[in-house]
Amino acid sequence: MISFQGGSVSGLTGFLAVVLVFIWIYNKLIHVRNEVENAVGAVHSILQKRADVIPSLVATLNQYSDYESGLLKELTEARTLALRSGSTSVDALQSADQTLSGLFGKVMAVAENYPDLKANQNFLGLQASLNEVEGQLAAARRTYNAAVVRYNTVIESIPTVILASMLGYKRKPVFQVTEAVAQKPDLNQLFGRKTG
């Protein structure tokens, strides 16, 4: 009788331990998943903030009638797309980020050819705002990447991998700079297009 009771107690204790471990792992998975979602939200909101600079930038650049009008049109279209898209998927965000980064890079490169524009107070203010937003965006990307690395580590480590695969947790990609964005804009091509 006594050994049967001892066996029941140790069995119950073992069961409780398993339940506690299960709860701990489950909560940890939720925690790391939410961290990634928070980080994605932060990137999305800063990208929106960056897109909001475009109308003021276009208004300032429109004062210079011979400024590359094709470029301004691309900027406006990119903003419209960014605002329409409610997607917070990493691929969509990365694509929006890269498109706008490329366009802003071209705008700043072409502005080098307009001394009056470079001295324009509005333009300087917008440039400073953009620099600040770029800094925030870089921080948001790093935060997202750190959250994703932690998430991927947790879902692929023992013992959390067991429950993670049962619950359908999949590995997530990090933000990467593609070769296209890493390249500087071709100034000869830009100047050639302007004068052509």
Partner 1 sequence: MLEIELLQQRLGKVPEFIDSELRPRVIAFSEDQPKLGGPIVAALKKWGFWIVLGYFMQFAAGLMHASRLKAIVGPLGLVLTYAAGGVLLWALKPYLFKAKERFERMRTLTALIKARAIGFLGFHYESSVEFPTALVHSCGLFTRYDRAYAEDRVFGKLGEAEFEMMELSTSKVERRGKAIKLIPLFKGLLVVVDFHKNFSGHTVVLSDHAEKSLGFVGRSMQRLAADVGLQSEMGLGRLKLIELEDPEFEGKFKVMSSDPVEARYILTPAYMQTLIQFRRQVGDRVQLSFMQGKMIMTLPYQSDFLWFPIQPDDALASVPRVLEEVVGVLRLVADLKVQSNLFQARGGSSKAG
Contacts to partner 1 by CB under 8 A: 39, 42, 121, 124-125, 128-129, 131-132, 135-136, 138-140, 142-143, 146
Surface-to-core class of residue 74, CB atoms within 10 Å of its CB (0-12 exposed, 13-18 middle, 19+ buried): middle
Asked if residues 129 and 122 have their Cβ atoms less than 8 Å apart, the reply is no
**Any idea what DSSP says for residue 185?**
P
Residue nearer to partner 1 on the CB measure, 14 or 135: 135
Distance of closest approach, residue 44 Cβ to partner 1, in angstroms: 12
- The Cα–Cα gap between 47 and 101 comes to 10
Residue nearer to partner 1 on the CB measure, 142 or 171: 142
Distance of closest approach, residue 11 Cβ to partner 1, in angstroms: 31
Asked if residues 72 and 54 have their Cβ atoms less than 8 Å apart, the reply is no
Residue nearer to partner 1 on the CB measure, 47 or 78: 47
Distance of closest approach, residue 70 Cβ to partner 1, in angstroms: 28
Residue carrying the six token digits 């366009």: 103
Distance of closest approach, residue 9 Cβ to partner 1, in angstroms: 30
Asked if residues 57 and 125 have their Cβ atoms less than 8 Å apart, the reply is no
Distance of closest approach, residue 141 Cβ to partner 1, in angstroms: 9
Residue nearer to partner 1 on the CB measure, 12 or 128: 128
Q: Quick one: which of 111, 137, 134 has its CA closest to 124?
A: 111
Residue nearer to partner 1 on the CB measure, 38 or 69: 38
HSE of 27, CA atoms in CB hemisphere, 13 A = 6
